[in-house]
Amino acid sequence: MKEYSEEYLDHIKDIISQNDEATARKELAELHPADIAELYKDLDLDEAEYLYKLLDEETAADVLMELDEDDRLKLIEHMPAAEIAKQIDHLDTDDAVDLIQQLDEDERDEILSHIDDVEQAGDIIDLLKYDEDTAGGLMGTEMIVVNENWSMPECIKQMRLQAEDMDEIYNVYVVGNDDKLKGVLPLKELITHPSVSKIKHVMESDPVSVKADTPIDEVALDFEKYDLVAMPVVDSIGRLLGRITVDDVMDKVREASERDFQLASGISSDVDTDDSVFAQTKARIPWLLIGICSGILASIILGGFENQLHAVTALALFIPIIGGTGGNVGVQASAIVVQSLANGTLELKEFAHQIGKEVLVGLLNATIISLVMFGYNLIFLPGNMAVTLSVAVSLFVVVMFATILGSVVPLTLEKLHINPALATGPFIQISNDIVGLLIYVWVATGFLKIFGG
Amino acid sequence: MKEYSEEYLDHIKDIISQNDEATARKELAELHPADIAELYKDLDLDEAEYLYKLLDEETAADVLMELDEDDRLKLIEHMPAAEIAKQIDHLDTDDAVDLIQQLDEDERDEILSHIDDVEQAGDIIDLLKYDEDTAGGLMGTEMIVVNENWSMPECIKQMRLQAEDMDEIYNVYVVGNDDKLKGVLPLKELITHPSVSKIKHVMESDPVSVKADTPIDEVALDFEKYDLVAMPVVDSIGRLLGRITVDDVMDKVREASERDFQLASGISSDVDTDDSVFAQTKARIPWLLIGICSGILASIILGGFENQLHAVTALALFIPIIGGTGGNVGVQASAIVVQSLANGTLELKEFAHQIGKEVLVGLLNATIISLVMFGYNLIFLPGNMAVTLSVAVSLFVVVMFATILGSVVPLTLEKLHINPALATGPFIQISNDIVGLLIYVWVATGFLKIFGG
């Protein structure tokens, strides 16, 4: 959209170096807070701080929330607690909680003590109690709430008061006298039924809501399923606590899918191309070293088989195909399970059914692959029946084993509440490498005995 | 949320088998269309059709849109064109286009000729012209549009008329007399400024908008960046054409990340655990067969090296570690590039910079890994300097090569407008396997000559 050019960046850097506050303010006024945050990434810290000080409090608060967590921490590091508190005053409670959660306990308390609006400070303290990965951890308390027995004019009057502090309104929540959520008032009713005597006659009753302790994954699936832009959060007896907005859910969906993709690729912490060489190496070396250990293990397994390898060197030629195929099969099987668990297609209660299905898929794949290799070796490795049979039979067993392991491991992890994506990547690849070799060594030893290797 | 139990499913199946229409209608009335669609997945086609006929037209249309594409096609296959047209009357134009796009040309024309609302039919025909993967292909024409020169009471009167046919309103778009988009009117202004004389005084000017030919990926990034729930779509001179809603964008974000994950896992078409054994095998066997071909290629390469393997069998023990490490390194490097391209962190103009950075990461990883393996073999394979050096040097070269290939390939694919995720999976794994072996064979041949193997 508002993609800026190298020239624009140079222009901004010039303005800063010339200390031209007036022009800087004018340029900033034309940018959306999200664009200012993007600009910051390409500036040095002192340049960013210079611009930041020129922003009005509300924009400054918005920019702060648009920054990456690391950049945000850098920017507020030198800010006095009173100033951070002022910015928090301009934030929705859910954003305020995100910001405060990054700080350590002492800093939190100091900042909270500086917030003038006691009600907001109280809300933030309440919200901090919820687990980050639940609906409660994602909700904010800014919302418009009306009573089901009010008339529309009464509602509009109340809404006018409540709307003052709010950036945007997407839904109006309707509660009973007991504070329990009764319905949602679509804004179009304001326009189409301006004089109804009781809100409950035009509200949508029984709205989709979540309990505060619902895991975020489930919340996201509900947003997608019911096409929501906001969802009310209730306590265990149905009293309205807050609301979750779709933008926060979208961020979480992207984060979760990125995390799965990274886990599946053997990257152990959240990095992208912006991170330093050192941070990237640190995120990538652990699985590589685990891979080296498994390679050493493979060499030990093959070492026990060295006499046979020496006698029938042709056996060595098929070492790569055994491990490679096992790895590929396992990654496919686990990726399908991980994805289906993530998008709600597969549920844990279908565990046995899923394994049964995978066994059939495995049988089909194993048969095709073994026959192909058997045919190839029959033609191109004539007279070497021990090797030909060893490779074909090993491939069959390896594909079956890898298919089953590829589905059992992520399902088991899900059952243990561990992210199943952990199973999709190097883990499954490495286990299949090792097991594949063991199977090959064992099968080949058998055939060599039969055919007299 | 409204997760239903096995008992509930049996209960519904009983009602259907007893042909108890009254109870069935009562049960359906309590369900959200998305829940009815979910229920259909667990019913036979004739059971689903039975329930479907009991729905009122509007709910039926909503249910249709909530179904998977396959299930939707099955359900409308036996429906007369006139009936499908009636349902389309109840859909937003963007959903109608999604549905019609699934059908072949003859069916499309017949259905369109049955739509009573000429304006809607015209809008659908216009929308069908846009590429599915652009903003135009995702937009609908249902929106509230007011003129910047109207007063608020005039606006509210107009909005009341326009809102009649709409399910939900999130934004009101403001245009000038030339139909160009001038601003967005947040709904809170309706409440807080009920009597302003000209809308343009309270609208938000210069709203984030997108041209109709913008690719969907960019649209999604803008939604996330600016935290939008809806975005106006304009033509090349800024005239308002339609709007995109966040629910459609979320679906696309999930689809795109699932597609990337599947490509990266060597699954060639979109399947999940619900699909048949045959469909799953079909999606999985292509990359497995490519893997087998590469395994055969590996055996040919090693075949040319058979004399050396026979002379120094210890060389065979390290075949798995070479290919495995190359694969792991390549997958990591490409995953980071693919993900950073997808979330907007990395841009093509940073091609050279990114490769330079990866070379440094590769150097660090390669040094650590080679030293570890060198140390291990020095201790546990004493007196076999040719093998020890061959493994360490090969690993160093393989890691460097795999790191660079892992970043160059996805960046090149992106440049060629091919999905870079294609590079993250078996492709990179297989190329690194083969190249790794070639490097190992070549390096080992050299060291054997030096040390006299």
Of A158-172, A263-277, B53-67, which one has max mean pLDDT?
Answer: B53-67
Q: Which residues pair with B234 in a beta bridge?
A: B211, B240
Say if A260 falls within a structural domain: no
**What pLDDT does A162 receive?**
85
Q: Are the beta carbons of A334 and A408 closer than 8 angstroms? A: no
Average pLDDT rounded to a whole number, residues B318-346: 89
The residue among A260, A394, A273, A380 whose CA lies nearest residue A324 is: A394
CATH number at residue A398: 1.10.357.20
> Is the pLDDT score of A78 beyond 50?
yes
How would residue A315 be classed by pLDDT, with cut points 50, 70 and 90?
Answer: very high
Is residue A131 domain-shared with residue A204, that is, in the same domain? no
Q: Which residues pair with B172 in a beta bridge?
A: B144, B185
Is residue A444 domain-shared with residue A367, that is, in the same domain? yes
Higher-confidence residue of B452 and B224: namely B224
Is residue B223 domain-shared with residue B320, that is, in the same domain? no
Q: Which of B255, B285, B306 is the last residue of a domain?
A: B255
Q: Are the beta carbons of A198 and A149 closer than 8 angstroms? A: yes
Average pLDDT rounded to a whole number, residues A73-93: 87
Q: d(Cα A11, Cα A142) in Å, to the nearest integer?
A: 39
Say if B318 falls within a structural domain: yes
How would residue B1 be classed by pLDDT, with cut points 50, 70 and 90?
Answer: very low
Hey, is the C-beta of B163 within 8 angstroms of any chain A C-beta?
Answer: yes
Is residue B22 domain-shared with residue B98, that is, in the same domain? yes
> Is the pLDDT score of A41 beyond 50?
yes
Q: d(Cα A247, Cα A164) in Å, to the nearest integer?
A: 21
Please give the helix or strand (H or E) that residue A114 lies within, else none.
helix A105-114
pLDDT one-digit tens code per residue, B97-149: 988 988 888 888 889 999 888 888 999 999 999 998 899 999 999 999 999 99
> Is the pLDDT score of A2 beyond 70?
no
Instruction: Tell me the shortest Cα–Cα distance from B413 to chain A, in angstroms.
Output: 17
**What pLDDT does A317 receive?**
93
Average pLDDT rounded to a whole number, residues B392-397: 96
Q: Kindly write down the DSSP assignment for every residue of A172-230, as one continuous string.
A: EEEE-TTSBEEEEE-HHHHHH-TT-S-GGGTSEES---EETTSBHHHHHHHHHHHT-SE
> Is the pLDDT score of B405 beyond 90?
yes
Hey, is the C-beta of B147 within 8 angstroms of any chain A C-beta?
Answer: no
Q: Which residues contact B241 (CB under 8 A, 6 or more apart)?
A: B136, B139, B141, B212, B233, B234, B235
Hey, is the C-beta of A372 within 8 angstroms of any chain B C-beta?
Answer: yes
Average pLDDT rounded to a whole number, residues A420-438: 84
Q: Which residues contact A54 (CB under 8 A, 6 or more apart)?
A: A21, A24, A25, A28
CATH number at residue B58: 1.25.60.10
Chain A residue with the nearest C-alpha to that of B166: A188
Say if B268 falls within a structural domain: no
Q: Which residues contact B195 (CB under 8 A, 6 or more apart)?
A: B151, B152, B153
The residue among B39, B12, B14 whose CA lies nearest residue B26 is: B12
Q: Which residues pair with A234 in a beta bridge?
A: A211, A240
Q: d(Cα A370, Cα A368) in Å, to the nearest integer?
A: 6
Chain B from 10 to 39: CB within 8 A of any A CB: 32, 34, 38
Task: Read off the tokens for A215.
Answer: 């895991």
**What pLDDT does A453 receive?**
52
Which of B160, B250, B334, B341 is the best substitution to test chain A (most A C-beta atoms within 10 A)?
B250
Q: How far apart, in Å, do the first and last CA atoms of chain B sit? A: 68
**What pLDDT does A131 receive?**
92
Least confident stretch, A16-20, A207-211, A301-305, A429-433: A429-433
The residue among A25, A33, A97, A107 whose CA lies nearest residue A64 is: A33
**What pLDDT does B236 receive?**
94
Hey, is the C-beta of A228 within 8 angstroms of any chain B C-beta?
Answer: yes
Cβ <8 Å between B364 and A226: no
Q: Which of B108, B133, B158 is the last residue of a domain?
A: B133
Which of B30, B225, B267 is the best substitution to test chain A (most A C-beta atoms within 10 A)?
B225
Which of A156, A161, A162, A225 is the best substitution to test chain B (most B C-beta atoms within 10 A)?
A225
Q: d(Cα A433, Cα B431) in Å, to the nearest integer?
A: 17
Q: d(Cα B318, Cα B301) in Å, to the nearest integer?
A: 15
A vs B, Cβ pairs < 8 A, gives 362
Percent of chain B with pLDDT over 90: 44
Q: Give the HSE-up count for residue A141: Cα atoms under 13 Å, Cβ half-sphere.
A: 14
Domain around A83: 6-138
The residue among B277, B270, B283, B266 whose CA lies nearest residue A358 is: B277
pLDDT one-digit tens code per residue, A333-370: 998 998 888 888 888 888 888 899 999 999 999 999 99
Chain A residue with the nearest C-alpha to that of B335: A265
Is residue A246 domain-shared with residue A170, that is, in the same domain? yes
**What pLDDT does A348 receive?**
83
Say if B435 falls within a structural domain: yes
**What pLDDT does A239 receive?**
96
Cβ <8 Å between A1 and B313: no
Q: d(Cα A439, Cα A397) in Å, to the nearest integer?
A: 8
The residue among A223, A238, A231, A209 whose CA lies nearest residue A94 is: A231
pLDDT one-digit tens code per residue, A180-229: 999 999 888 888 888 888 999 999 998 999 999 999 989 999 999 999 99
Is residue A100 domain-shared with residue A165, that is, in the same domain? no
- The pairing of strands B181-185 and B172-175 is antiparallel
Q: Is A270 left (phi over 0), alpha (psi -120 to 50) or beta?
A: beta
Q: Which of B133, B157, B182 is the last residue of a domain?
A: B133
Is residue B190 domain-shared with residue B282, that is, in the same domain? no
> Is the pLDDT score of B323 beyond 80?
yes
All residues of chain A having their beta carbon less than 8 Å from the beta carbon of residue B318 are 295, 299
Which of B95, B191, B205, B377 is the best substitution to test chain A (most A C-beta atoms within 10 A)?
B191
Q: Give the HSE-up count for residue B354: Cα atoms under 13 Å, Cβ half-sphere.
A: 27
| SS3 state at B49 | helix
CA distances from B447 to B112, B116, B392 (A): 74, 81, 11
CA distances from A392 to A397, A406, A447 (A): 9, 21, 11
Say if B271 falls within a structural domain: no
The phi, psi pair for A59, rounded to 5°, reads: -65, -40
Average pLDDT rounded to a whole number, residues B236-249: 94
Cβ <8 Å between B361 and A187: no
Instruction: Tell me the shortest Cα–Cα distance from B252 to chain A, in angstroms.
Output: 11
Q: d(Cα B299, Cα A314) in Å, to the nearest integer?
A: 9
Say if B366 falls within a structural domain: yes
Q: d(Cα A276, Cα A283) in Å, to the nearest integer?
A: 11
pTM: 0.86
**What pLDDT does A3 receive?**
58
> Is the pLDDT score of B9 beyond 50?
yes
Q: Are the beta carbons of B269 and B282 closer than 8 angstroms? A: yes
Query: What amino acid occupies position A384?
Result: N
Q: Give the HSE-up count for residue B242: Cα atoms under 13 Å, Cβ half-sphere.
A: 22
What does pLDDT average to over chain A? 89
The phi, psi pair for B288, rounded to 5°, reads: -65, -40
Q: Kindly write down the DSSP assignment for every residue of A375-420, as one continuous string.
A: HHHHHHSTT-HHHHHHHHHHHHHHHHHHHHHHHHHHHHHHHTTS-G
> Is the pLDDT score of A70 beyond 60?
yes
CA distances from A167 to A63, A115, A170, B43, B227 (A): 15, 20, 10, 45, 12
Is residue B178 domain-shared with residue B218, that is, in the same domain? yes
Is residue B126 domain-shared with residue B149, that is, in the same domain? no
Is residue A181 domain-shared with residue A286, that is, in the same domain? no
CATH number at residue B213: 3.10.580.10
Higher-confidence residue of A273 and B329: namely B329
Q: Tell me the ipTM for this assembly.
A: 0.85
The residue among A335, A256, A231 whose CA lies nearest residue B253 is: A256
Q: Are the beta carbons of A250 and B253 closer than 8 angstroms? A: yes
Q: d(Cα A406, Cα A333) in Å, to the nearest integer?
A: 5
Hey, is the C-beta of A254 within 8 angstroms of any chain B C-beta?
Answer: yes
Is residue A114 domain-shared with residue A159, that is, in the same domain? no
Hey, is the C-beta of A339 within 8 angstroms of any chain B C-beta?
Answer: yes
Cβ <8 Å between B339 and A294: no
Cβ <8 Å between A336 and B266: no
Q: d(Cα A452, Cα A420) in Å, to the nearest integer?
A: 45
> Is the pLDDT score of A173 beyond 90?
yes
Q: d(Cα A215, Cα A233) in Å, to the nearest integer?
A: 12
**What pLDDT does A193 receive?**
84
Q: Which residues contact A157 (CB under 8 A, 6 or more apart)?
A: none
Q: d(Cα B95, Cα B127) in Å, to the nearest integer?
A: 11
Cβ <8 Å between A295 and B321: yes
Say if B355 falls within a structural domain: yes
Instruction: Tell me the shortest Cα–Cα distance from A1 to chain B, in angstroms.
Output: 7
CA A252, A258, A264: angle at the middle one, nearest 5?
135
**What pLDDT does B68 receive?**
83
- The pairing of strands B230-234 and A210-211 is unpaired
Is residue A284 domain-shared with residue A426, that is, in the same domain? yes
Instruction: DSSP letter for A242, please.
Output: E
Say if B270 falls within a structural domain: no
Q: d(Cα B452, Cα B205) in Å, to the nearest integer?
A: 79
H helix count then E strand count, chain A: 21, 7
pLDDT one-digit tens code per residue, B11-61: 999 999 999 999 999 989 888 999 999 888 888 888 988 998 899 888 999
Least confident stretch, A261-275, A382-396, B291-305, B386-400: A261-275
Number of domains in chain A: 3
